[in-house]
Structure 1
Amino acid sequence: MGSDNRAPVTVVGLGSMGSALANAFLDKGHPTTVWNRSPEKAEALVAKGAVLAATPAEAIAASELVVVCVLDYRAMREIIDSLGEAPAGRVIVNLTSGTPDEARQAATWAAERGVGYVDGAIMATPPMIGSEHALIFYGGPKALYDANAEALASIAGAGTYLGEDAGLPSLYDVALLGLMWTTWAGFMHSLALVGSEQVKAEAFLPFAQAWFEHVVNPEIPRIAAQVDQGTYPDGGSALGMQAVAVEHLVDASRAQKVDAALPEFLLERAEQAIKQGHAGDGFASVYEVLRKARG
């Protein structure tokens, strides 16, 4: 693919993810400049057509769009600060993992230096980068995002702009990871329960999959609607009744000598919601407990 009409891009940071980003830009025909503290990590990219910059200043001078993917936000700031006066017209798209507060602080830091700044969060593994299955969230000034959206589409078919708040991408990132980890943890607790009686995970799996498909997943849109409306109809199964079932889960876990911390967490929050007057509401009313920090 010719690169004459493709915007030049600089990629700073060539770990596994940064290298995948640079590869994707090259594959889509973007003239790509790269820089990494350990230059040997650029060898395969240079062989493919990338230009290895000798310094961060040289890398950032090469392109108006600078994609940064380094260890942490401090490393990103140190690299940019090392330049002194940043070249005019540069836009940093920071795809370094961090927290919403770090992203907002970085946006303020960039604004103080007159540097255009968009923060992002990658919801993909390195092999997915450049495919339609890669999802990257972006937050920051819309004009900056719009001006670079075409180039950024090279690294993720599902680039999603969330708004002016630079912290939202990181917030979506940790929220989705939390959903993944807690779902996995709940499944593993179930496997530990049946495994305590020598039931193989493979034997239990079809029932877990059917339960997710026909019972768990269909409730997700209804829970989301209830949370937005602030009302939690019981749907024929009030929280007071469900708390009794969760108590049985706690008792069974203890009896089977399985770690009961997860169901104990659920029971404690359900009981707290009941004390707040939600005994007759649906299970989604536990949200009213989870949305507030304890104490």
Structure 2
Amino acid sequence: MKENKQGNPLGQDWKQTEGHLLPVSVIGLGMMGSALAQAFLKEGRRTTVWNRTPGKAETLAAQGAVAARTVAEAIAASPLIVICVLDYAAVQEILEQAGDVLAGRTVVNLTNGSPAQARQTAAWAAEHGAEYLDGGIMAVPQMIGTSGAFVLYSGSSSAFEAWQPALEKLGSTKYLGGDPGLAPLYDLALLSVMYGMYGGLFHAIAMVRSVGVQAESFTPLVVPWLSAMSASMPQIAQAVDANDHRTDVSSLYINQTGFVNFIDASRELGISTELITPMQALIDRGVAEGHGTDGLTRIIEMIQHPLPD
């Protein structure tokens, strides 16, 4: 870990001593940022907090956090800076207020964004003398600090190694490599799985509710069904990596007929087909391109090679 080249106005030298935890500053106190700060406070770590809306720091201050008056003061207070705000534009706007105070510190950016934005922010941080880790939080605020939370990290390997014990207090850590764009890439990819699952669930609930079936009585069938289907994911990954889309389960031809039934039934029930027609279009395209005997994994190749506009 680099030493603080600018010195610290609070007089601390950041040397780790036995029984003493290095301080951390948390910038951004929305639901997630507040949960992150509370996890550090629970650990007993001196935690400085700052938010563009000052009132959000009051609850944390009552729990023992130090409320900084300015972002520069918050950054000066700690060698580890954890920031979680709305978007990367806000990250840039906030950190630019710190000026040279960032030098010698580690910035861990847990804001959701794109791989390109992460790489640009990492380059900016390096120009200002800071080490940089980008992260993807795979949890909701209530899960932070529990065994169910995990956080993806990429960027400076030395920063991750130095700060992993502190970061483990937020959730299990997984370091993906030196490219700072990897954590947001994995983050968005995993969120894609989640949204796809919920999209299917929402359409299914709309179907059964259209005939008076309560969602609560239908969903007990969903959980074991999805659990059984998710068991095939490792085999799907192997097939894709091997570029082997053969199937003895369900071909695109068969699924093409099934999706006609989905569409017809949905229209008969008077519900929207907006969530399922994109998948139908991809299946139809696969068949039209001569891949009708392949399995659904062929769709991945089509997504990676979209038709020209």
TM over 0.5: yes
Match of 1:238 among 251, 273, 282: 251
In the other structure, the counterpart of 1:88 is 103
- CA distance, structure 2, for counterparts of residue 291 and residue 246 of structure 1: 22
- CA distance, structure 2, for counterparts of residue 52 and residue 126 of structure 1: 21
CA spacing shift, 1:203–1:74, aligned 2, 3 Å = closer
Match of 2:219 among 193, 196, 205: 205
**What TM-score do you get using the length of structure 2 for normalisation?**
0.87
CA spacing shift, 1:70–1:267, aligned 2, 3 Å = closer
Shift of 1:3: 9.0
Aligned to 1:121, the other structure's residue is in SS state: strand
Aligned to 1:7, the other structure's residue is in SS state: coil
Within the alignment, does 1:42 sit opposite 2:57 as a pair?
yes
Contact 1:86 1:115 in 2 (8 A): no
C-alpha distance after superposition, 1:223-269 (max 9, x if no partner): 12211211112124322122112222222222222212333222210
In the other structure, the counterpart of 1:259 is 272
Aligned-residue sequence identity (percent) comes to 43
- CA distance, structure 1, for counterparts of residue 198 and residue 106 of structure 2: 38
Within the alignment, does 1:226 sit opposite 2:248 as a pair?
no
State how 1:148-163 maps to structure 2 within 5 Å: 148-156=163-171, 158-163=172-177
- CA distance, structure 2, for counterparts of residue 84 and residue 193 of structure 1: 55
- CA distance, structure 1, for counterparts of residue 219 and residue 30 of structure 2: 36
Match of 1:266, as an amino acid? M
Aligned to 1:114, the other structure's residue is in SS state: coil
Aligned to 1:42, the other structure's residue is in SS state: helix
In the other structure, the counterpart of 2:93 is 78
Contact 1:3 1:30 in 2 (8 A): no
- CA distance, structure 1, for counterparts of residue 187 and residue 162 of structure 2: 24
Aligned to 1:208, the other structure's residue is in SS state: helix
Shift of 1:152: 1.0
- CA distance, structure 2, for counterparts of residue 68 and residue 102 of structure 1: 15
Shift of 1:36: 2.1
Aligned to 1:233, the other structure's residue is in SS state: coil
CA spacing shift, 1:226–1:17, aligned 2, 3 Å = same
In the other structure, the counterpart of 1:187 is 201
Shift of 1:200: 2.9
Match of 2:275, as an amino acid? L
Within the alignment, does 1:176 sit opposite 2:205 as a pair?
no
- CA distance, structure 2, for counterparts of residue 86 and residue 77 of structure 1: 15
Shift of 1:270: 0.7
- CA distance, structure 1, for counterparts of residue 88 and residue 80 of structure 2: 18
Q: Which runs of 4+ in 1 moved over 4 A?
A: none
- CA distance, structure 2, for counterparts of residue 186 and residue 263 of structure 1: 8
- CA distance, structure 2, for counterparts of residue 45 and residue 23 of structure 1: 7
